[in-house]
Chains A and B, each alone.
Chain A
């Protein structure tokens, strides 16, 4: 399974764009890149998934370079309610979570 590396924590302010980068150097050809969000005392929630280039939905954008060895989750104009832990997963089989990135959004 591809190992992922993310920053442990990040801080931002309301209204800013936040970019969280995940490294996955040994990603396999058929692996997708998936991001989850977890609020305190809740289970994780699927945010976005991609294979290459750029994917956008109503919550976030996911940028994946051609070599696919990293990916960047972009949250536009964050609010206090975006304070959560964000997990990057890389696996076709088995949903293995790493430690995630703890994002704190300040007023």
Chain B
């Protein structure tokens, strides 16, 4: 019962470095999402993929890119990390884009120094 798996769980980057956060789901879901959560705050939607082959911007897309590699995998890339991107990143998936029951991964805690 893996559900949504995110890697890595923790990462420290230097300003200007790049990295890719990986997300995979084994529930055959069509829609996938990337969020960030700053300390003491709610989640903010970065990008989403309503279905395989499509991606769209969410509330806070600047500084990020995404790739829906296949139906299972949805990656988030930081091309040039900035301290303002220090956050916890959550990946989620849902059966359909109109489905409001989503399943979340355990998060990636990213620190940019």
Tally of contacts, chain A with chain B, CB under 8 A: 55
With an 8 Å Cβ cutoff, the count of chain A residues facing the other chain is: 22
Quick one: closest B residue to A85, CB to CB? B42
Contact with A along B41-56 (1 / 0, CB 8 A): 1111100100000000
For B74, list chain A residues within 8 Å (CB). Answer: none
Judging by beta carbons under 8 Å apart, are A94 and B42 in contact? no
For A49, list chain B residues within 8 Å (CB). Answer: 100-101
Contact with B along A25-66 (1 / 0, CB 8 A): 000000010100000011111100100000000000000000
Contacts A41-B107, A49-B101 given; 14 further ones with Cβ under 8 A? A42-B106, A44-B43, A44-B102, A46-B101, A46-B102, A91-B100, A92-B100, A93-B97, A94-B48, A94-B58, A95-B33, A95-B94, A96-B45, A99-B41
In the bound complex, what is the Cα–Cα distance between A85 and B61 (angstroms)? 24
Judging by beta carbons under 8 Å apart, are B44 and A95 in contact? no
For B100, list chain A residues within 8 Å (CB). Answer: 32, 34, 49, 89, 91-92, 95
21 example contacts (A-B, Cβ-Cβ < 8 A) are as follows: A34-B100, A34-B101, A42-B107, A43-B104, A44-B43, A46-B102, A49-B100, A49-B101, A87-B42, A94-B45, A94-B48, A94-B58, A95-B33, A95-B45, A95-B48, A95-B92, A95-B100, A95-B102, A96-B59, A97-B44, A98-B42
For A91, list chain B residues within 8 Å (CB). Answer: 100
A residues contacting B by CB (< 8 A) are 32, 34, 41-46, 49, 85, 87, 89, 91-100
Judging by beta carbons under 8 Å apart, are B92 and A93 in contact? no
For A43, list chain B residues within 8 Å (CB). Answer: 4, 90, 92, 104-107
B residues contacting A by CB (< 8 A) are 4, 33, 35, 41-45, 48, 58-59, 90, 92, 94, 97-98, 100-107
For A45, list chain B residues within 8 Å (CB). Answer: 104
Query: How many whole Å from B25's CB to the nearest CB in chain A?
Result: 12
Q: Beyond A32-B100, A91-B100, A92-B98, is A97–B107 a contact (Cβ under 8 Å)?
A: no
